[in-house]
Structure 1
Amino acid sequence: MNTQCTRLLLEGEYICDVRYPTEYEVLQDPAEQESVDSWLAGLNMRLARLGGDGAFFMAPLVVTALDQGRLRRELLDFRDVYGPAVVMLDLIRQADSLGLVLSPGEYIPLFELESAVANSGTLEMLLRSKLAVIHDGNPRNSVRENLRRLLMHLAKDGYVYLASKETETYRVTGKVEQLYAVLQFLSENKVIPDTEVDETEVDDPDLIDLANADEDPL
């Protein structure tokens, strides 16, 4: 069993072919998956995956009423739990000159993002209107500094990582698909965040996996 894989899983990481290509390749082996899964079972956890070829992550071994309740709370608190990432990723996506759809593996160069925002009054105003959700965002900062903090915030949440320190280029990770899965659930169930989740049956095991992936098993 690969100890680096188990360490990353215990830290709540999403092991994808973008962020952790070596560990991702290791986990492609069915025998390794079985070994890791057996080890996690001792912690009442298991190896889960985003779709058929997405990132690997750690999820509860058995979905309990407590897990369902926690998911409902997270969806009710959508604006606090997922909202900031949605807002920041959407701002990047609206920088048309970058041509990004924000799929795993795409690169986000800070310089190009700054140029796109600085050359668009609409985007610059949008950035300023969203500073409250960006960690350490400040209207006194330059556009570049606020965008740097935006990307650092997304990196802290695991949706991107710093691929090149020299060029300040970030790369979208496989974890972004977790966010998309939550948004899809809300859309398909016609849920209005913060208001209707308590009346919506939340029994999708895959979605419960996603909401509990970062739960500390110890």
Structure 2
Amino acid sequence: MASETFTSVAQTLLTGEMICETVYPNEYQFLQNDINTDQIEKFLAQIDRGLACTQDGRAYYCAFLDVEESGAKTAIRQVFREVAQDLEPLLRWMRFVREANAMGQPVESGMLVKQSELLQAVESSPAKYHELNELTKSGLFKSSAKNSSAKIDQILGKLKDKGYLVVQDTSGALFRATGLWSYLYDVLEFIRANEHLESDDDGNDQPELF
């Protein structure tokens, strides 16, 4: 069983997927054991890759050990471009969710996202209604839907397609956030600390995203 999980972990990482408790619970638990992570790291090192983890410890991913490796910088920049093009709508949605839930909780890996809670917030607040309409006018969450319920459904569907949420019930009204949110927070922190993402002088000793 352990060898099967090892294989699953290695294959998942090498395909560029992130391992978190929401999407890959068995693989995530496997990586909670230091002996297992050491084995994975030794395996990846043979192909000049490493095992990286988000700052909150909720997601693992495959990383380049050497950013000077051929194609490494291009791949890393591509990942950041993909995140950057969706960054503004994602940030607006994060604020929308934080303000909509009773605890004022920010979106994080493992959090339950309820369609009904979001809809209730919109229906009880003209400000949230306006915010939802603005959010769906363009970009990632652009929608031609006429009512709030359909707009929220489309947003949640887009986030599911992007890997930020997974469905938790048969009705499609309950979702759980994945480790991609943890990675997004790390990217935001990186952006804050580094103003010149396009500079060639950005090598460091830390592993970068595969």
Q: Above 0.5 in TM-score?
A: yes
Pair 1:86–1:34, CA change in 2 (3 A):
same
Structure 2 vs 1, CA of residues 128 and 56 (structure 1 numbering), >3 Å: closer, same or farther?
same
Which residue in the other structure is 1:47 paired with? 51
**Counterpart Cα distance in 2 of 1:3 and 1:77:** 28
- Structure 2 segments unaligned to the other structure (5+ residues): none
Q: TM-score, normalised by structure 1?
A: 0.77
Q: Structure 1 residues 21 and 142, CA, compared in 2 at 3 Å: closer, same or farther?
A: same
CA distance in structure 2 between the partners assigned to 1:21 and 1:107 by the alignment = 16
Would the alpha carbon gap of residues 117 and 134 (structure 1) be closer, same or farther in structure 2, given more than 3 Å must change? Answer: farther
Counterpart CA distance in 2 for 1:36 and 1:72 is: 25
In the alignment, what sits opposite 1:202? 202
Identical pairs, percent: 23
Q: What TM-score, normalized to structure 2? A: 0.79
Deviation at 1:109, TM superposition (A): 0.7
Per the alignment, residue 216 of structure 1 pairs with none
Report the aligned-residue RMSD.
2.9
Match of 1:133 in 2: 139
1:172 aligns with 2:177: yes
- Structure 1 segments, 4+ long, off by >6 Å, are none
Indicate conservation of the 8 Å contact 1:109/1:167, yes or no. Answer: no
Q: 1:73 to 1:134 in 2, by over 3 A?
A: closer
Q: In structure 2, the residue corresponding to 1:171 is in which secondary structure?
A: strand
Structure 1 contact 93–100 (Cα < 8 Å) conserved: yes
Give the secondary-structure state (helix, strand or coil) at the position aligned to 2:19.
coil
Output the amino acid matched with 2:139: V
1:28 matches 2:42? no
> What SS class does the counterpart of residue 164 from structure 1 fall into?
coil
User: Which residue identity lines up with residue 138 of structure 1 in the other structure?
Assistant: S
